[in-house]
């Protein structure tokens, strides 16, 4: 009697089919995981935008100052937490101003990695400041500080006063296209000579393609730095698209080519190559 069994050729065929199916399924599964992470990121960003809007309501429709000077209108800019008072540069970055408006803000702001340690009431002042510093500098999302809320280090203020009537907006009624104006978005540290561990780090600032000169451009579907040595680049963390949040509160994924259009960045822009001179 003959026993029924696979021949070597049949076995090799079965193994080949299984390997082929795995090769087809694994990229699809990886893409599904990336899509799920992107959706979570969009939900987190939406939560931040709700808090951002609540801030405006509490401040007579004034937009949150994105990066104010260390002294504004004769007063030192500070933020407080756990019995500590922090000055510049911690107080100049937006994360600490969002703290009262977003539950679990640090987990939301650091969803690309574990959040740094919070300052504690029993920390000595230098340790508390160090913790506050790291919480504020590398969030997942950067703010469009040049054009929305103004930046003391990017032409947003003149002699300590807001640069009203110029390129940045400071009041909600100044915004012309709320559904097109980027407020927050995926931001990653990018250096002209990057260190191996920096590309996935977040950054509190989101640099537009043009701001008193070209800052970055897209070449071969990659962002290429032009004028700065370090900045927050709107580069997708999970898929090729970067998650962006707009002034009207909606979020979406945008390609690098789409992000070159200055009409998404500047309230006054009427062309995709808009720029300003201070």
Tokens of 161: 């006063």
pLDDT tens-digit readout, 186-203: 998 876 555 555 555 889
High-pLDDT (> 90) share of the chain, %: 54
User: What span, in angstroms and rounded, lies between the C-alpha atoms of 119 and 161?
Assistant: 31
Considering the domain boundaries, does residue 115 fall inside one?
Answer: yes
Mean pLDDT of 88-106: 92
Q: What is the pLDDT of residue 126?
A: 94
Considering the domain boundaries, does residue 8 fall inside one?
Answer: no
- Counting the structural domains of the chain, the total is 1
Considering the domain boundaries, does residue 20 fall inside one?
Answer: no
Considering the domain boundaries, does residue 270 fall inside one?
Answer: no
Residue 132 has pLDDT above 80, yes or no: yes
Structural domain of 58: 37-264
High-pLDDT (> 70) share of the chain, %: 88
Q: What is the pLDDT of residue 30?
A: 62
Three-state DSSP at 85 gives strand
Tokens of 2: 């003959």
């Amino acid at each position: 009697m003959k026993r029924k069994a696979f021949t070597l050729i049949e076995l090799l065929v079965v193994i080949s089919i299984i390997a082929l199916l795995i090769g087809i399924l694994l990229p699809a599964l990886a893409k599904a995981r990336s899509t799920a992470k992107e959706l979570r990121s969009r939900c987190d960003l939406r939560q931040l935008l709700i808090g951002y809007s609540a801030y405006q309501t509490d401040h007579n429709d004034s937009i949150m100052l994105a990066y104010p000077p260390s002294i504004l209108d004769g007063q030192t800019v500070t933020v407080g937490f756990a019995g500590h008072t922090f000055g510049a540069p911690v107080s100049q970055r937006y994360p600490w101003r969002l703290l009262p408006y977003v539950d679990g803000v640090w987990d939301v702001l650091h969803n690309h990695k574990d959040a740094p340690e919070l300052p504690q009431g029993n920390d000595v002042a230098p340790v508390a400041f160090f913790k506050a510093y790291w919480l504020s500098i590398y969030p997942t999302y950067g703010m469009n500080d040049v054009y929305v809320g103004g930046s003391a280090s990017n032409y947003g203020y003149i002699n300590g006063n807001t640069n009203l009537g110029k390129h940045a907006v400071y009041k909600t009624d100044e915004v012309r296209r709320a559904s097109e104006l980027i407020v927050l978005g995926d931001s990653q540290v990018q250096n002209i000579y990057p260190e191996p561990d920096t590309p996935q780090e977040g950054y509190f600032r989101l640099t537009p393609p043009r701001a008193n000169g070209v800052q970055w451009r897209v070449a071969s579907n990659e962002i290429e730095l032009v004028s700065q040595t370090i900045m927050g680049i709107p580069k997708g963390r999970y898929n090729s698209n970067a998650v962006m949040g707009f002034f009207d509160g909606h979020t979406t994924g945008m390609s690098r080519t789409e992000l070159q259009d200055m009409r998404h960045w500047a309230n006054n822009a009427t062309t995709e190559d808009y720029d300003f001179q201070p």
